[in-house]
Structure 1
Amino acid sequence: MSIYLEVLMFGALLGLPFLYETRPTFSYCLKFVCYYTVVMINSVILIPPFSFRPRNVLNLVVASYFCHWITHVIGVKWILRDGKHLEADQSCVIVCNHQSSLDILGMFQIWPTMRKCTVLAKKSLFWIWPFGLAAWLAGIVFIPRVKTDRARVVLNQAMGKLVKNKIKLWIFPEGTRRNTGEIHTFKKGAFHAAISNQLPVIPVVFSRYYFLDRANKKFDQGSVIIKVLAPMSTKGLTLDDVDSFTEEVCQKMAEAFREVNREVSKEMESNCDLKRVAQLKQ
């Protein structure tokens, strides 16, 4: 009986590469399972050391070293542009477009550059343990998604500590993640917080995940350009300027998004041409 089991297991192992290359859905699921599994395992490993300095955002830098390598396994390359804007030892609000849970993997690549930076996340993520507990110990700011008034109170309380300790706050102003090839309408919370505390806003744009198709369950190899725009000052602005400032930031990010998308599109076309040449040579 054991011999039959060994044969079946050996056959299954031999079949995995075939399924990976020929079944897009299998590849899609396998890559996300690997990604989430690594994050969960690392959460378990990191909870004990994080407990010695709870709520310290530098724990996120440690987490990035533990998790960033998974990007090589799933075949995604991250290219940082103008990262110098993120290096300043000062409090600011970073706003970024939101396309997929892969955004966090991209952040892991640049956390050592940002250093003291935390993220505004929906409170429901806290209950996904062990990840939620590790994230809380690392200083992630959780806010209730539905209760707007309560969310504003939590954010305002957090801002005082962040400003005092020169900590950057990363916010996805679109709210819901959508990989549709465009920048969607921004919620105003990030800009309200920045203006209230007279903090600069640093826009960050991730190019479109052209290699990821959730509807058709396709997850190919690909590259993502992370473009950091110059800080936008809020000095002298009042809450009456929130709407116009939000629109200004949104327009700048939409323009940068189109620019980096053109660049990755050219790279994708070049890769396709190389594949065709290789096929012709065969």
Structure 2
Amino acid sequence: MLLRPRDSRNALIPAAGLRACCKFMGVTYEVEGKENIVKNSGCVVLINHQSMLDLIVLACLWPVMPNCTVISKKEIFYLQPFGLASWLWGTIFIDRMNVKGARSAVNKTGDTIRTRQARVLMFPEGTRNDKKELLPFKKGAFHLALASRCPIQPVAVCRYTFLGKQVFDNGHIKIRILPSISTEGYTPENMDKLIDEAYKVMSENVDAISESDACQINNNSSAKILK
């Protein structure tokens, strides 16, 4: 596979490597709800944020959701060689300290989502959260969705109950792609209603899949990659 300048497909190789690492970590995974993936349009993909293991989630979503990219603070670009790799697979870097520049980047990214049918993967909680309830959602992802005039694609990831404070147990990660949420009729003035809708559906599904037997600690299971 040849590297292409700033192309999301450049991330498919490291994504495959991360999925392969699951076998050695004793972590299995599955992605359900692929029939809900937005077609013929870009979208803003919302994912609940828990730990560094979320990189595995991104590695699972990248091959099944074409044209994926992420937004990151510009400082990440200077963490080489990861920064260069991030640039190559199309990461959008913004200056969080420059409010005016950040807003301009949001508008530009909105145009990119709409014209290129791109999917921007974002963590609406804004920070890692290993608690039983989702943190309140930040507004940035929703401003981007409105700027792009494209739907929101919620994705629920089960809680990593197999992550102990001192022991890393075998475990299973269930990823559920949920039906899209239209942004039609929403404006910055009534955006809170859109946020509440996304929060409710994601919270309910995170609870549901986290309570399933498949996502509980499984010390006796052997590592197996689920296709």
Distance 2:9 2:215 in 1: 35
For residues 148 and 258 of structure 1, the distance between their equivalents in structure 2, rounded to whole angstroms, comes to 35
Give the Å deviation of 1:99.
0.4
1:89-139 per-residue CA deviation (whole Å, 9 max, x = no partner) reads: 420110111001111112112211102111112222222211111111110
**2:45 maps to 1:94:** yes
- How far the C-alpha of 1:250 sits from its partner, in A, is 0.7
Q: CA 1:111/1:192 → structure 2, altered by over 3 Å: closer, same or farther?
A: same
Match status 1:254 vs 2:203: yes
| Number of residue pairs the alignment of both structures matches | 221
**CA–CA distance in 1 between the matches of 2:51 and 2:7?**
26
Aligned mates of 1:217, 1:88 — CA distance in 2: 42
Question: Take 2:30 and 2:175, find their aligned partners in 1: how far apart are those partners?
Answer: 6
Q: Which has the higher helix share?
A: 1
Does structure 2 retain, via aligned residues, the 8 Å contact 1:174–1:185?
yes
Q: 1:145 to 1:75 in 2, by over 3 A?
A: farther
User: With structure 1 as the length reference, what TM-score do the two structures score?
Assistant: 0.72
Q: Distance in 2 between matches of 1:185 and 1:239?
A: 17
Output the CA distance in 1 between the equivalents of 2:73 and 2:195: 21
Equivalent in the alignment of 2:216:
268
Relative distance call for 1:185 and 1:100 in structure 2 (3 A) is same
Q: Report the secondary structure of 2:42's partner residue.
A: coil
Determine the structure 1 residue equivalent to 2:191: 242
Aligned match of 1:232: 181
Structure 1 stretches lacking a partner, 5+ long: 1-45, 276-282
Alignment check: 8 A CA contact 2:69 2:118 kept: yes
Residue 136, structure 1, aligned to residue 84, structure 2: no
TM-score by length of 2: 0.88
1:184 paired to 2:132: no
72, 96, 106: which is aligned to 1:145? 96
Deviation of 1:176 after TM superposition, in Å, equals 0.9
CA distance in 2, matches of 1:87, 1:244: 21
Q: Trace 1:59-138 onto structure 2 (pairs within 5 A).
A: 59-86=10-37, 88-138=39-89
RMSD over aligned CA atoms reads 2.1
Q: What stretches of structure 2 of length at least 5 have no aligned partner? A: 222-227
User: What's the counterpart of residue 217 of structure 1?
Assistant: 166
Alpha-carbon displacement from aligned partner over 1:215-274 (angstroms, at most 9, x marks no partner): x2332110111011100001122221211111211111111111111114x7537x47x7
Report the structure number with the largest CA radius of gyration. 1
- CA distance, structure 2, for counterparts of residue 259 and residue 93 of structure 1: 23
Q: How much has 1:76 moved relative to structure 2?
A: 1.2
**Secondary structure of the corresponding residue to residue 114 of structure 1:** coil
Q: Which amino acid aligns with 1:229?
A: L
Q: Percent identity of the aligned residues?
A: 33
